[in-house]
Amino acid sequence: MPELPEVETTRRGIAPHVVGRRIAQLHVYDSRLRWPVPPDLGTMIAGRTIDGLTRRSKYLLFRIGAGTLLVHLGMTGSLRVFQRPPARRTHDHVDIVLDNGTLLRYHDPRRFGAMLWVAGSPADHPLLASLGPEPFDAAFDADHFWRATRARTAAIKLALMDNGLVVGVGNIYANEALFRAGIRPATAARRVSRPRLARLVDEVRAVLTEAIAKGGSTLRDYVDASGEPGYFQLDYYVYGREGEPCRVCGTAIRHRRLGARASFYCPACQR
Ligand SMILES: [Zn+2]
């Protein structure tokens, strides 16, 4: 599943090729994504210019005049740019043709993604309105985290993955950030002290920054590449390493399920 670093890498990979270009045509081959692609989307965007491409949580926001094309990659979606478009393949559901012939193509085998038109401010859209701060925003700091967790008896890992508290920290990065901060995933959120939350905020940013930097080496995969853009892997400390020795202390990494998601931790390094 594309996580925040993959979505940010997609944004960086395609932005130079689409921002400032006018949309010539839209072709929707299959509108049955998580929500249907609006039937009038072509009328809304054809002839207009893509003024900017930003990201909010795992949504890509193409600013087009006063409106916004909101794209989510779902479980298996990808967006790529072609200067010489190859023939359409299975699961290529939407093509956006730009004025210079460049093609922006949406591919999604499982069709859990979304492509929606937002006429007003995207921040007020129901999908975005209740989202918490971005992990790199100043609003996500130890004070915010501390206040938001004082009444939470649920595990700190679940708080970290709650989009109302902070967006874009998926399962892999929650596991890794908690290891790096020395906090056990199952610890009740309200029992984690403010200094330890401050450390966790720093580690969330560090692990996401490293993943985005790693994605930088794959940017060319978003333009005229054959095959799908890959999901990049860090050398994880704990994620997927049950029974293997901790990279810091050698203790066997443990696994347990928390809220139906796999959690990995080192019983010696994390308290
Ligand atoms: Zn350890």
Each residue's pLDDT tens digit, 143-156: 999 999 999 999 99
Q: CA dihedral in degrees (138, 237, 72, 230; nearest 10)? A: 130
Task: Say which residues have a Cβ less than 8 Å from residue 53's Cβ, sequence separation at least 6.
Answer: 11, 14, 15, 18, 19, 60, 61, 62, 63
Token code pair at residue 179: 């290891």
| pLDDT at residue 2, as a whole number | 87
Given pLDDT bands bounded at 50, 70 and 90, which one contains residue 215?
confident
Going from the Cα of 153 to the center of ligand 1, the distance in angstroms, rounded, reads: 25
Residue 39 falls in the annotated catalytic set: no
227 pLDDT higher than 70: no
Q: How far apart are CA 166 and CA 148, in angstroms?
A: 10
Catalytic residue among 2, 122, 135, 229: 2
The string of pLDDT tens digits covering residues 108-129 is 999 999 999 999 999 999 999 9
